[in-house]
Amino acid sequence: MKKNITILLGAIAVIAVFYVGQTLSNDRKQADVSDIVNEIAMKQFTGQVVRSFEGEHVLDYSLEIPETASTSVDMYGALIRITDDSKPLATMYISYEGARGYSPADYINNIVAPHVAVIDITSTSSIGSYEWQEAESAGSEWYIAPVMDGQWLIVVENKKTAHDSVMNILNSIMVN
């Protein structure tokens, strides 16, 4: 009987050591991942969009993108594609709405929806300096914010897998 108690106490001690080791190991791994995510270097990207409608309308913008990311600009500065490691991170389009006056919901319903099989308007969120109308399709997220008193819309599309990186970008967007 004494031998069985000794074996039982030994087994409990081994299990306790194993459990404490696993707990400490898991806490350490989570801290390491958080440290790496927070240390991603960012760089500033700036640009300008000019539209002519009953005069010239200019929007200067800046945003932070990952240090390893690259950009390409089309449509006279209004279409910005951000890629990282040769994979699309986000596509940003800046639309002048001083003429037709689309709101973010109008833009989703009239411009995006005809080109996307199923898109659902979800909610609005304050991200960075702006109020963003959110929508999503099967694999993508859409964020649309009115800026400069609603005269312009910033439209951002990204794959759902890039959500965290895009949140950092949206937080950094500034216009004037």
Work out the pLDDT band at 31, boundaries 50, 70, 90: very low
Q: What distance in Å separates the CA atoms of residue 1 and residue 66, rounded to the nearest whole number?
A: 65
DSSP 176: -
- Which pLDDT value is given to residue 156? 98
What does the chain come to in residues? 176
Q: What distance in Å separates the CA atoms of residue 96 and residue 56, rounded to the nearest whole number?
A: 11
- Which pLDDT value is given to residue 109? 96
Structure token pair of residue 30? 């989570």
Between 55 and 25, the more confident residue is 55
